[in-house]
Structure 1
């Protein structure tokens, strides 16, 4: 908030309005109070969107009308984006979208926000404002509490159910707010079928929390998880994966955590991807990660592991090892699983040392048969643990060609 780029935006707005007409709001204030990193800067203002655009232009700053109908303009200062939103009050809501009116009352703007620790404001001089009277304490205590009545807030925007669990995963401490839980449980049916992109965003952000397990347990207990992802029948493997990441100091892998929530079934992985409208890359990763062939076990020999890496790719093999480790009910030492991962990471799969031209020189006519012969020789080569002797490969080629009576 003290960066020159940030101060330039505040100065531009106050030059158009008056001192105090613009305040920092939401996550940047909350995270500062909680000693957590600040990812972006949101600013609330009494200026209308047109006035904001004029103010930024007069100060030589770029203005992008990202959502002027709802009062939002993005300012760019020193290549850093700042989202600026005019104070608003709801005129009507239907759980999906709201009709808003602009206001000059900070209290009205605070009342339409989701959680009390997100309804905190700080002006350019560093003065803190807490219109609900509880936001500061909630931030300090790690309590996720809706502004006003939870049922009312949720009916304004059904996705606030997921936001509650996401914020609980990131910031919650101790027992969750019981009124919020009761409201989420009572209205869980409203969240299914909502905008897939927003649902995806909330789920992935929740899974990105350092330890999402307590929040996911709450989602399961209230029936919210089943309402949005009905094919998630157990959290056991996800719980195991998070434990492994924590204990082994692995990097938290949001995408693999998502894969851990579903059974080893490519059809279900595809359904999940379609329900959440995941990218093609993520969809393919999920489908490959939950595949069942070849079977991954902790006691695989180095030769078996190399064959699996060659067949699957390093990332897919690593994904399957971690998922198998997380879901294993058999006694297995950590060193066995880590050994498989180390082998894969330190082994460079060789390139099959035979070309189509060499196959044709051996007497195979151009056409599909070339590929069939190459595949037959490749199977032998893999079975020989990727033998490096090119002469042996050529001899095998000759034997295959003779055996096929080409």
Structure 2
């Protein structure tokens, strides 16, 4: 018998009261990511509970126990229980009535196996009794989890037809948890890759960005290229991009810098395509600017000068992509130029283009000198030259 480990998340404030309100045992069980991650010894962020009770009964039980109930996904049977330690999603057991690859119409059921059968992958269809810790496994998910084997529940083509996003989820979970993909599932993803074109750009973006920072992202992106998975939606990610991603991942690891999805996306894209991809994936304006900036190179002024000119985040991106050491930015606070245009005018320079020109020259020399606190000597020299130019003119 497989047992759920006694981990910290199970002692979160208010969780026992929530389980008691729902009845526990055969009425409510932990499900999905919390069970999977606990069995892997990983930190658990979100807790989900599956229950035989319909949403109305869940709401009644929670309110009777003094627990706030928010109907966040009532059409799909989900009530969010707000307890002291944070929200917990409580979802009624379901079966699919109809699907169109993007949305599903569901009916409620009291059959645990039927609920498990509509889930995507075997490792995500594990349930645990909150009281006894017994794990319920209807489709061999625990064995797959131990073997790090990514496998769809049932017929992969049917699972993909129900929700096309499962193609990208298959590879994201493989990159995060798996070592080997199920051959039948991989073949189904390759055969139905064009189905991704029916999805919203936002859903594609969210899965892709999560995938790019997963544990084994480099290998899995290579696998996706081998099977033309990304071609229908992000054809700009190519073999050269994979080579750059490999180098970037190595630099991040060597320097102890956490992987970043925008930085990694930037390095995978063919030159000149960042703007188009950012728009297609509906990145925020800030993310689009960062994506494009990451492709511009690190220049030759040095890490801190680059950070001063473009900001620490963008400088880190460019340095890592260039294979340079971004650790020079550790604890570097971007300084403020200790000279203003007003100071130049007060010392005799006429307002206008010459002020801006002189200020830029002072700034360039101040950066090259290593950002000294006192820029008086630089100011005096540049001001003298500016006044000389003005007198000649």
The reply to whether TM is greater than 0.5 is yes
Q: What is the SS of the residue equivalent to 2:101?
A: coil
Q: Is the 8 A contact 1:362 1:401 kept in 2?
A: no
What is the aligned partner in structure 2 of residue 188 from structure 1? 193
The alpha carbon displacement at 1:197 in A equals 2.1
Query: The residue matched to 1:250 in structure 2 has which SS?
Result: coil
Tell me which residue corresponds to 2:135. Answer: 128
The alpha-carbon deviation at position 165 of structure 1 amounts to: 0.2
Partner of 2:256: 249
Counterparts of residues 269-348 of structure 1 (less than 5 Å): 269-292=274-297, 295=299, 304=302, 307-325=305-323, 337-338=324-325, 341-345=326-330
**Within 5 Å, which residues of 2 pair with 1:65-214?**
65-125=71-131, 126-132=133-139, 134-173=140-179, 175-214=180-219
RMSD after superposition = 2.4
Give the drift of 1:354: 2.5
Aligned equivalents of 2:98, 2:333: Cα separation in 1: 60
Comparing 23-32 with 307-316, greater Cα deviation is found at: 307-316
d(CA) in 1 for partners of 2:128, 2:237: 41
Q: Does 1:10 align with 2:15?
A: no
TM-score by length of 2: 0.88
Pair 305,112 (structure 1): closer, same or farther in 2 beyond 3 Å: closer
Label 1:208 to 1:390 Cα distance change in 2 as closer, same or farther (>3 A).
same
Relative distance call for 1:33 and 1:291 in structure 2 (3 A) is: same
Structure 2 SS opposite 1:404: helix
Q: Deviations over 1:87-142 (max 9, x none)?
A: 1111110001011111111121111110112112112222221222x112111111
The 3 A distance-change label for structure 1 pair 63 and 369 is same
SS at structure 1 position matched to 2:237: coil
Determine the C-alpha separation between the residues in 2 that align with 1:7 and 1:321. Answer: 49
Deviation at 1:168, TM superposition (A): 0.4
**Please, which moves more after superposition, 175-184 or 276-285?**
276-285
Query: In structure 2, what is the equivalent of residue 397 of structure 1?
Result: 383
Which secondary structure state, in structure 2, belongs to the residue aligned with residue 85 of structure 1?
A: strand
The alpha-carbon distance between structure 1 residues 264 and 384, as it changes in their structure 2 partners (threshold 3 A), is: farther
Partner Cα separation in structure 2 for residue 124 and residue 313 of structure 1? 48
State the Cα distance separating 1:269 from its structure 2 match: 1.9
Moved more, 185-194 or 31-40: 31-40
1:299 maps to what in 2? none
248-257 vs 179-188, which moves further: 248-257
Matches of 1:379 and 1:19, distance apart in 2: 70
Indicate the residue corresponding to 1:236 in structure 2.
243
Residues 23 and 43 in structure 1, CA contact (< 8 A), matched pair in contact too: yes
**TM-superposed deviation, 1:48:** 0.9
Shift of the alpha carbon at 1:164?
0.2
What is the Cα deviation at residue 258 of structure 1? 2.0
Q: CA deviation at 1:67?
A: 0.5
Structure 1: how far apart are the matches of 2:39 and 2:327?
A: 41
1:351 aligned partner: 336
Deviation at 1:342, TM superposition (A): 4.3
Q: CA deviation at 1:204?
A: 1.9
Q: Which deviates more from structure 2 when the two are superposed, residues 113-122 or residues 305-314?
A: 305-314
Contact residue 365 and residue 378 of structure 2 kept, 8 A: no
Output the CA distance in 1 between the equivalents of 2:204 and 2:169: 9
SS at structure 2 position matched to 1:226: coil
